[in-house]
């Protein structure tokens, strides 16, 4: 049994998140399975089952080929592991191109998982979709700035908010999502001044990733922050653990002990 005492002992709801704006920074991490979700339970306010799992979990190059079936499967696992954080399923590329399709797919998410919300990438052009979802009792987390699902149409991952014009555009996008009913917005890969302007303009919380410290919360991908994803490290990622090298050390010890018959000793035998 764990002797660890969780920092958060009540289920986090949309109301909890709304009330945190301007009061206390919101913490969010990604998770893709029950084991890690269990470790994060009671430690962070929100868990995102991100389509980043297509890279971190499946080893693909980008998020574009993630499917709704995969997202649902991983969200079921996360919901089995964690009961306290607000769990959000990231709607995969191509699963919300029209309000009707978005409602059908997000309804599946609510019926087949215990996720409390879905995340949708896009600016004001997605407002009608977000409005359709929220009016059909499906909570939506927006996502603006650098949007990984726009990788090919944008011609790469591009940091946003480098000019006043672009900052104004981002603020306009964020306000459109708020009006459409989003309960919070992920702001990814933008200059800190842009994140500040967006956060100031909104009455709903912003959750930043690569957006500086002015947002109402932060989100990181678990395999980046714990040093498991070694392919590359974006500038904004702080590694709180060197997971890959810890695993390698443990594996080397195991291998050596099996090879020299030190494992299993009597202690580990019936």
List the catalytic residues: 188
| Number of Cβ within a 10 Å radius of residue 86 | 25
For the record, the structure tokens of 122 come out as: 């896009």
Residue 140 Cβ vs ligand KIV, minimum distance, rounded to whole Å: 14
Residue from 12, 21, 29, 30 that binds ligand KIV (CB under 6 A)? Answer: 30
* Contact flag: residue 218 with ligand KIV (CB under 6 A): no
* Residue pair 61/55 in contact by the 8 Å Cβ criterion: yes
Q: Is 48 in the site for ligand KIV (CB under 6 A)?
A: yes
Q: Write down how long the chain is.
A: 270
CB of 119 to ligand KIV, least distance (A): 7
| Min CB(93)–ligand KIV separation in Å | 11
In the complex, what is the shortest distance from the CB of residue 63 to ligand KIV, in angstroms, rounded to a whole number?
A: 6
Torsion of CA 114, 119, 120, 126, to 10 degrees: 90
Task: Report yes or no: 92 and 20 within 8 Å, Cβ to Cβ.
Answer: no
46-54, 105-113, 124-132, 229-237 -> range binding ligand KIV (CB under 6 A): 46-54
Query: Exposure pattern of 188-198 as b/e (b: 16+ CB <10 Å)?
Result: bbbbeebbbbb
**Measured between alpha carbons, how far is 234 from 224 in angstroms, rounded to an integer?**
9
95 near ligand KIV (CB under 6 A): no
Part of the chain binding ligand KIV (CB under 6 A), chosen from 47-55, 127-135, 156-164, 247-255: 47-55
Residues that bind ligand KIV (CB under 6 A): 30, 48, 50-52, 90, 186, 188, 209, 219, 221
């Amino acid at each position: 049994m764990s002797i660890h005492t969780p920092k958060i002992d009540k289920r986090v709801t949309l109301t909890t998140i709304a009330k945190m704006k301007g009061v206390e920074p919101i913490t969010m991490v990604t998770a893709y399975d029950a084991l890690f979700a269990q470790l994060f339970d009671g430690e962070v306010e929100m868990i995102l089952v991100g389509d980043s799992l297509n890279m971190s979990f499946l080893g693909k190059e980008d998020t574009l080929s993630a499917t709704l079936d995969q997202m649902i499967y991983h969200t079921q696992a996360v919901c089995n592991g964690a009961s306290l954080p607000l769990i959000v399923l990231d709607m995969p590329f191509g699963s919300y191109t029209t309000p009707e399709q978005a409602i059908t797919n997000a309804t599946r998410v609510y019926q087949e998982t215990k996720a409390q919300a879905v995340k949708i990438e896009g600016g004001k052009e997605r407002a009608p979709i977000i409005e359709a979802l929220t009016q059909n009792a499906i909570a939506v987390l927006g996502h603006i700035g650098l949007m990984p699902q726009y990788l090919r149409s944008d011609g790469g991952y591009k940091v946003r908010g480098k000019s006043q014009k672009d900052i104004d555009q981002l603020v306009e996008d964020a306000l459109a999502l708020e009006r459409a009913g989003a309960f919070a917005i992920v702001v990814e890969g933008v200059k800190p001044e842009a994140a500040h302007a967006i956060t100031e303009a909104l009455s709903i919380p912003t959750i930043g990733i690569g957006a500086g410290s002015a947002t109402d919360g932060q989100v990181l991908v678990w395999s980046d922050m714990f040093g498991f994803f070694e392919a590359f490290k974006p500038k904004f990622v702080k590694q709180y653990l060197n997971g890959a090298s810890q695993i390698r050390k443990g594996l080397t010890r195991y291998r050596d002990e099996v090879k020299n018959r030190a494992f299993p000793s009597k202690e580990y035998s019936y």
